[in-house]
Amino acid sequence: MLHILHIDASARPGIAGTDHHGSHSRQLSHHFVSQWQQHSPQDAVTYRDIGQHPPSFISHDWVASAFTPEEQRDPWMKQALKESDALVDELIASDIVVIGTPLYNFGMPAALKAWVDQIVRAERTVGVDKNSPHDPYIPKLNDRERHAVVLAARGGTNMAPGEEMAHMNHLEPHLASALEFVGITRIHTIAIEGQEVGGEVLAGSIASARHQVERLVKELQVALNSSTEPA
């Protein structure tokens, strides 16, 4: 049985196509999970709606606690890291993390950045080799095959890598850097574009993105089921 961690980061609570002013990124992430469960109902799903229930921002107490060795932490330090520990545990348990997120002002929503800050944890998701002067960081989530599926929604168009407006899109590159830093290097990105344009541009992008989601679900199910079958 595989484990999916499903995260939605949009400030819009509804789903586009169903709810007035609904979220396009939520539409894609829910489409991915529903397609997955349709073919593999035995797999587990953990859901986090950080768009409606944002993680806490890191604080002085968080930093002091996270960089104190576990065996030396006072009770208040353990309490300061309680939320982070829960989010890290969910990530470690997952085989696939599905992130539905809009592009807000060139980057990720504050709620998603807060989640990133909570899960990039010294000695939990990243180790440090103090004897290595060049690249001392050791990702800890590369112990087994994990995938990240980033399902984005952008107001503009032509923002994919290599396209003319890519320089204004720091969402996927930032998120990829954070995930790769902790050891999740198999990253798949699909996006809906053209919300500000609307009409046929948006409709075509939605149809294309949903088709890509369906194809990715099939590809990942074949790949992951093959990798988990006993030799």
Distances in whole angstroms, Cα of residue 31 to Cα of each of 94, 184, 210: 19, 22, 7
C-alpha span between 100 and 122 (Å, rounded): 26
- Note whether 125 and 182 are within 8 A (CB): yes
84 is in an annotated binding site: no
Three-state DSSP state, 122: strand
**Residue 34 in marked binding region:** no
Look at the block and give the residue holding tokens 């986090």. 48
Closest CA to 179 of 106, 101, 105: 101
Residue (of 83, 84, 64, 60) closest to 73 by Cα position? 64
Using alpha carbons, select from 67, 82, 188 the residue that is nearest to residue 123. 67
- Residue 29, annotated as binding a ligand: no
If you count them, how many residues does the chain have? 231
Q: How far apart are CA 54 and CA 18, in angstroms?
A: 23
- Consult the annotation and say whether 53 binds a ligand: no
Binding residue numbers for FMN: 10, 23-25
